Homo-oligomer: A and B are copies of this chain.
Amino acid sequence: MNTGELAELAELGQQLRVDSVRAAAAAGSGHPTSSMSAADLVAVLLARHLRYDFDHPDHPGNDRFVLSKGHASPLMYAAFKAAGAIDDEELLTFRKLGSRLEGHPTPRKLPWVETATGSLGQGLPVGVGIALAGKRLDHADYRVWALCGDSELAEGSVWEAAEHAAYEHLDNLVAIVDVNRLGQRGPTRHGHDLDAYARRFRAFGWHTVEADGHDVDAVDRAYGEALSTRGQPTAILARTLKGRGVEAVQDREGLHGKPLPDAEEAIAELGGPRDLTVRVHQPPDARALHSVPTGQFTPPRWDKGEKAATRDAFGEALAALGTARADVVVLDGEVGDSTRAELFAKEHPERYFECYIAEQQMVATAVGMAARGWTPYAATFAAFLTRAHDFVRMASISGSGLCLVGSHAGVAIGQDGPSQMGLEDLAMMRAVHGSTVLYPCDANQTARLVEAMAVLDGIRYLRTSRGAGPVIYGPDERFPVGGSKVLRSSGEDRLTFIAAGVTVPEALEAADSLAELGIAARVIDLYSVKPVDRDTLRRAADETGCLVTVEDHHLEGGLGDAVSGAFTDGRPVPRLVRLAVRSMPGSASPEEQLHAAGIDAESIAAAGRLLVEEAIVP
């Protein structure tokens, strides 16, 4: 670059600073100093290296920019303005009611945002997912640029990402680390010791470059070096100053997340507003994304009376779905033999991704692939999905479409003990905004729900069980999401058992034993825990007067709460009793576990009988 070009880049950096300061000043909040440290990094990227068609954010050849340090949103929005994607008026709506420019960026609002950030340590992992899609699914040569903060490198998820990216040789991924040495409440562990970070990335198999993040020429060369690196991802460690360019805030503590004390003076110090427009490089031609699903789903079939585990049915159905739908991809947390996701791998190895024991990266990879239009199924033990809770939460903010599958639900797993038992997963997944929560009880039902969840919006969760249970439904039965199945019913019903998953056969057996006592009990299979089939539940309440929920899950947040939620429209509520796992389980056989938890047929029948006899139970 010649002197003029360098000066222009520096000017662009200053413009991004000024606009960050202006946006935060207009909002009265925000993170201008965190934006100012990275302004030159973004200026050089935008003007010189990013290939992106802002008029066509879906262009398959577009590079992908991920703002992992999501609080630097003013900088991102200032860059969008410089690229002509938004105007100055919109820039100044930052953080206001109804604005697309939220405090932290989200793709639900802005088409140029790849993933919602704001929970630190998540952007880079999602970037890894996008880069992996580029290499192994899209076969496109877009690049992924992830702008990270130095503070967020303390998050373990960043090192899951580092490991995954190097292992997969993602040379289309560049992590740009804005080492401004200051976190929210003070200095980071490593200050400006760029090599402390570089050592770590190199040990994980990355190429690294260290640069002065305010020297646009050096930054440009660093990007060039990243682009010419083959076979491994590159991390650029850029030495910067928080609040760079404004003496009152530059490199000072105690100013995180605050507008500048005197915005007008700061803007003057930065040389005043500019009106530079950047002509961003257009992306190269690229083939369109994978075509939408074509074939017909041929579900695996089981006959009534057979025994099968729902996890087996999941694996078989997933493999069949992969044949029907070219957009289905599967992610494993190194337990594919247990979840049975490996059955998909056998038939569609090119769409199966081993994420090893790194559940956060597994979900982040799914988010990245979903951002590129794929339909990911990510599976591990239900218990271990809690490891990725924050990623699931953020995925819902992104509006991301994920299928999550948790196996080994509940005490029914038996001997392995509580560490392996999903007993909080329903609560976790129900509370995710816009989620769908499915919990099948038999193999045919599982197969149909595996298909159904592919086309829903948002976070969809399927809960499967370890042990073999009876096949209750015929292979042609349908199971609409939001529905339920009434498995026992008569005009004489005096109560209703509401079960899902492993407790369905137990409830059926309980109903049979009550029938012998002359007590007719309705049985509802509530396989759709969210949305819940209010009509059927309300009818059962009206017709039978009392409801007994039975779940292999802790008392809170699961099936019982879901059923209660069907009676919150102001109507009178029926008598309700909940059977759930109330104590801490240990090791025991599955049968012993169900009995100890009070959710086996015998316990259910006893509770039902007490209730009908109008004793108040526990």
**Chain A residues with a Cβ under 8 A of chain B:** 27-30, 70, 94-99, 101-104, 106, 108-109, 116-121, 151-152, 154-160, 163, 167, 183-185, 188-189, 199-200, 202-204, 254, 332, 334-338, 342, 356-361, 383-384, 386-387, 389-390, 393-394, 396-397, 414-420, 423-424, 427-428, 430-434, 530, 546, 554-558, 560-562, 564-565, 567-578, 583-584, 586-589, 592, 596, 611, 614-618
Asked whether A588 and B96 contact (CB < 8 A) given A120-B357, A573-B574, A616-B570, the answer is yes
Counting every copy of the chain, the complex holds 2
In the complex the two chains form, what is the Cα distance from A353 to B204 in whole Å? Answer: 28
In the complex the two chains form, what is the Cα distance from A570 to B613 in whole Å? Answer: 11
Taking a contact as CB atoms under 8 Å apart, the answer to whether A570 and B617 are in contact is yes
A494 nearest CB across to chain B (Å): 13
Asked whether A356 and B183 contact (CB < 8 A) given A417-B103, A427-B427, A586-B102, the answer is yes
Taking a contact as CB atoms under 8 Å apart, the answer to whether A567 and B556 are in contact is no
Taking a contact as CB atoms under 8 Å apart, the answer to whether B575 and A417 are in contact is no
Taking a contact as CB atoms under 8 Å apart, the answer to whether B185 and A336 are in contact is yes
Name the one of B70, B359, B589 contacting A419, with C-beta atoms under 8 angstroms: B70
Task: Return the 7 tightest CB-CB contacts between A and B, nearest first.
Answer: A156-B156, A118-B419, A573-B573, A427-B431, A564-B564, A203-B203, A97-B588
A102 nearest CB across to chain B (Å): 4
Chain B residues, Cβ within 8 Å of A204: 200, 203
Chain B residues, Cβ within 8 Å of A254: 337
14 A-B residue pairings within 8 Å (CB atoms): A70-B419, A95-B415, A97-B589, A103-B416, A103-B420, A118-B420, A189-B356, A203-B203, A383-B393, A397-B419, A427-B556, A546-B570, A556-B561, A568-B577
Taking a contact as CB atoms under 8 Å apart, the answer to whether A418 and B431 are in contact is no
Closest residue of chain B to A424, judged by CB? Answer: B431
In the complex the two chains form, what is the Cα distance from A29 to B154 in whole Å? Answer: 38
Chain B residues, Cβ within 8 Å of A558: 431
Chain B residues, Cβ within 8 Å of A104: 416-417, 419-420
Asked whether A572 and B575 contact (CB < 8 A) given A203-B203, A383-B393, A587-B103, the answer is yes
Closest residue of chain B to A530, judged by CB? Answer: B556
A38 nearest CB across to chain B (Å): 17
Q: Given contact pairs A103-B416, A156-B358, A184-B335, enumerate 14 new A-B contacts (beta carbons under 8 Å).
A: A96-B588, A103-B587, A185-B332, A189-B356, A387-B389, A397-B419, A424-B428, A564-B568, A565-B578, A570-B577, A570-B614, A570-B616, A573-B573, A573-B576
